Structure 1
């Protein structure tokens, strides 16, 4: 029959450890800031818990029994692990960690940001792993609130007080078309009229963000003609390279090495400022040393 831990005062283990280390009741009591009578009473309860004398008084101090010697190592190991777990000031050492972090990279962060983060992680001899979280059924913000992930990226700062964030970097939005586009292939720039005359490949966003973008387009004097709508950001340049459609994407995506030789990149002929990209996390993780280590590493990738 297994011992019911609820019936055991686990504080007694620190007293056992102190007596085992010092071999004297007086020194164990001093270390624990206890009186000797209180320490003696605790030893009595320890003996009842383990059904063993544990320590025998001798002229040279407290001599441990065979049972005490047997349990001393495991108890000390458990106490060290508990202290490490509760020590909020303990430095995080990546070389000793096998922690798994989860990040929602958003629409295209897997393309250029994930490899850079992995490169930095791999510079350390560590068993840490990074998992890319698919924010398909719910947004990255929702996954953060539920504790499913460690970080997410978004171009809208969160309003929920449970979340904290910092600006990762702004990204310029550009227009892309295939290099041999029949109307834009020889152009060095694109006008507002040409932008709205061409058909567009667009990414499916949430309805609220789509409305904001559409409203901005109308304020610029036009409505985009939609050639097709795709569900994966990586599909946008792929479809552009194989059609006469154009698209707007962040510049890092347009300049990604797999695409850039087959795309023409134009400055967006609209008054759209660079989009701020935010790194977001749950406030509850702000004191976590490992979490802070990874956050610092991510920010080095700017």
Structure 2
């Protein structure tokens, strides 16, 4: 127990070592991040094992994996380190205009393509030294329950693999901050002068050949769930791994696709595509920005979270003016 340990004899740098090894999943990469030798990291892990009375990390052919005890400690250790960093940062407040930090944002490509242009414009004006790493988030293969399709992103946030996630999340555990960035629904997209564009009926929708965006190649999606409830089905003639490829393919074929309305409004015209309302009711989605509450104690991350909110509000305002 902590109250039985003489902290004066405990190297608290081991907590930082624990955090980095957990993120990297590899001793060599952790050593590079910490500017240490692999042997120094291995020695530190040995001391950590004695301190915690647990193997902590188990070796595999591809690196190391945390034990169950290590996973239990991940949250408390992250909170401790965040509080320490917050205390230290008060001596030197975060200044976005001078910062050279890099933030990792995770999002599906149909979402990132909406918020990134206004976000980059704001960064260019206010924080030219800040960089963004964009990581594509994907639902698990075969994950057909919409309500749980994006749950793996919480593990990514807990592990520190991404700083902020922006995705169609219905709800988030209490340990996360979640704010609605915007609401999204879907429209049917097709090339100009496509037969479906002239008469967008439910019967014709079901007889058309469809394209589905699916990184895993799984052709079944929430549109199919809705059609099944109506006793209907459609033919998925092609799956593609991202929305950009989907638009390019639609422009050269007679395929049609259901895609996010905001994404279509921003990019479909470039490919000579048109959109129509879907001929059946389909649920809408709340796109939420999510970050660990403990991480929000970091002034820099809290600033980025607020900037994402502003970027999505700007995109919403531009879109409203275009439709008025």
The separation in 2 between residues aligned to 1:103 and 1:83, in whole angstroms, is: 21
Counterparts of 1:83 and 1:174, CA distance in 2: 45
Q: How many residues align?
A: 220
Tell me which residue corresponds to 1:156.
Answer: 169
- Change in Cα spacing, 1:171 to 1:242, as seen in structure 2 (3 Å) is same
Is the 1:140–1:153 Cα contact (8 Å) retained in structure 2? no
Deviation at 1:291, TM superposition (A): 1.0
Unaligned ranges ≥5, structure 1:
1-5, 8-81
Identify the residue that residue 226 of structure 1 maps to in structure 2. Answer: 236
Displacement of 1:212 in angstroms is 4.7
What's 1:184 paired with?
Answer: 196
The TM-score with structure 2 as length reference comes to: 0.60
Alignment partner of 1:196 is 2:198? no
Q: Cα–Cα, structure 1 residues 212 and 265, in superposed 2: closer, same or farther, change >3 Å? A: closer
CA distance in 1, matches of 2:139, 2:230: 33
C-alpha deviation, 1:259, in angstroms: 3.6
Q: Greater Rg, structure 1 or structure 2?
A: 1
What CA distance in whole angstroms lies between the structure 2 residues aligned with 1:174 and 1:249?
Answer: 6
Distance 2:259 2:202 in 1: 16
Measured against aligned partners, the alpha-carbon deviations of 1:91-125 in whole angstroms (never above 9, x if no partner) come to 43112211110101212234332121111011125
Paired residue secondary structure (1:174)? strand
Partner of 1:24: none
The residue that corresponds to 1:26 in the other structure is: none
Partner of 1:272: 282
2:267, 2:253 → 1: CA distance? 20
Distance in 1, matches of 2:272 and 2:251, equals 7
Change over 3 Å in CA distance of 1:295–1:218 after alignment to 2: same
CA distance in 2, matches of 1:296, 1:180: 42
Shift of 1:128: 1.0
Q: Paired residue for 1:75?
A: none
- Superimposed CA distance per residue, residues 207-252 of structure 1 (whole angstroms, 9 cap, x where no aligned partner): 9994654322212341121111112222211111111110000112
Q: Could you say what secondary structure the match of 2:279 adopts?
A: coil
Matched-pair contact (CA < 8 Å) for 2:104–2:164: yes
The structure-2 alpha-carbon separation of the partners of 1:207 and 1:232, relative to structure 1 and needing over 3 Å to count, comes to closer
Aligned to 2:306: 296
CA distance in 1: counterparts of 2:200 and 2:133, whole angstroms: 39
Unaligned runs of 5+ in 2: 1-7, 10-83, 141-151, 313-324
Alpha-carbon distance, 1:158 to partner: 4.5
| Structure showing the higher helix proportion among its residues | 2
